[in-house]
Amino acid sequence: MKKSVSIMLAALMLGGAPLAQAADLPEWLTGEWQQERGDRWTEELWSLPRGGVMIGMGRSGRGESLQSWELMRIVRAADGMLTLHAAPEGGKETIFPVLEQGVRDISFANPDHDYPQRIRYWREGRLLMAETAMMDGSNAQNWTYAPAGQ
């Protein structure tokens, strides 16, 4: 009896490991988000976590003109830590390892990058908040995204 309980417990623990890892990806970031200020707009789209990755896209513009765009992904690095990969306008990727993670907030940082050095996302109710800044918090830029279409 003891042996079968130990085997069942081990099977449950091994079976639960991938679920625990997947839960670390910030699923609360999923969705289509937009901010509009006058004729200026910014949008971000984040996929559901699947296969250990979340894929994102951001774009901003004025009126009907696109001013910038970016491809992003959040993945688990070989050491198990989450990393944000950002490639503005399809250029060279910059990797930002996770700095802090809570239930509905996550921060990534790369002090060797020129700007931004820190990227933070968090939820306030139905809104998605975002901030980019230097490591010390200076030169902060902030976004308040609402779900698209609302």
Asked if residue 21 is part of any domain, the answer here is: no
Report the DSSP pairing between strands 141-147 and 31-37. Answer: antiparallel
Number of domains making up the chain: 1
Q: What is the pLDDT of residues 15-74, one digit of tens each?
A: 433 333 333 899 999 999 999 999 999 999 999 999 999 999 999 999 999 999 999 999
Domain that holds residue 141: 26-147
Asked if residue 100 is part of any domain, the answer here is: yes
Asked if residue 33 is part of any domain, the answer here is: yes
In angstroms, the CA 110 to CA 129 distance is 20
Does the model's pTM come out above 0.95?
no
Q: How confident is the prediction for the chain on average, in pLDDT?
A: 87
Report which residue type is found at 9: L
Chain centre distance of CA 126: 16
Asked if residue 12 is part of any domain, the answer here is: no
Asked if residue 130 is part of any domain, the answer here is: yes
Which CATH number does the domain housing residue 133 bear? 2.40.128.20
Asked if residue 131 is part of any domain, the answer here is: yes
